[in-house]
Amino acid sequence: MEQQSYKVEYTNTVFFIRLDKREKAWLTYEVDKGIMILKQTYTPENYRGKGLAKMLVEKAVEVAKQKNLKIKPVCSYSVYYFIKNPHERDILAEPYRSMSEEELKKYFEERLAEEKSH
């Protein structure tokens, strides 16, 4: 299987990966008072399961570190990322950084339910 190389680019409101046919995977965010708020992640259906959302959140973490920002995960995928990558949790803003594994999972379920209701 051919391994496509994807590149994460970003503006001051969105991280994105250009895909075929003018499609993009993206993660919207805003920065407010030193906190990068990860708002929404989207990957076109035929590109899901390839790690693109993970690449987007990893880039957000990298940029937040460069700019000395903390992260507030709002979209369910970003919460999931920090559940799966506990070594990155020190970048999280409070109260997320202090949440236990169980609290993070509960927050993830709440975010997922909220997103599905829209």
Q: Per the structure, how many domains does the chain have? A: 1
Separation between Cα atoms, residue 52 and residue 37, nearest integer Å: 19
Structure-token match 């927050």, residue found? 107
For 47, the 3-state DSSP assignment is: helix
Residue 3 lies in a domain: no
Q: Which two tokens stand for residue 67?
A: 């700019």
What per-residue confidence (pLDDT) applies to 49? 94
Q: Is position 105 within any domain?
A: yes
Structural domain that includes position 53: 8-116
| Residue closest to 58 by CA, chosen among 75, 81, 84, 83 | 81
pLDDT tens digits for range 54-87: 999 999 999 999 999 999 999 999 999 999 999 9
Instruction: For residue 21, give every residue at least 6 positions away whose Cβ sits within 8 Å of its Cβ, in sequence order, or none.
Output: none
What residues of the chain score a pLDDT lower than 50?
A: 1-2
Residue 2 falls inside a structural domain: no
Q: Does residue 27 form part of some domain?
A: yes
Residue 22: per-residue pLDDT: 85
Is 1 within a domain? no
Helices (H) and strands (E) in the chain, counts: 3, 5
Q: Domain of 91: which CATH number?
A: 3.40.630.30
pLDDT of residue 116: 93
Residue 81 lies in a domain: yes
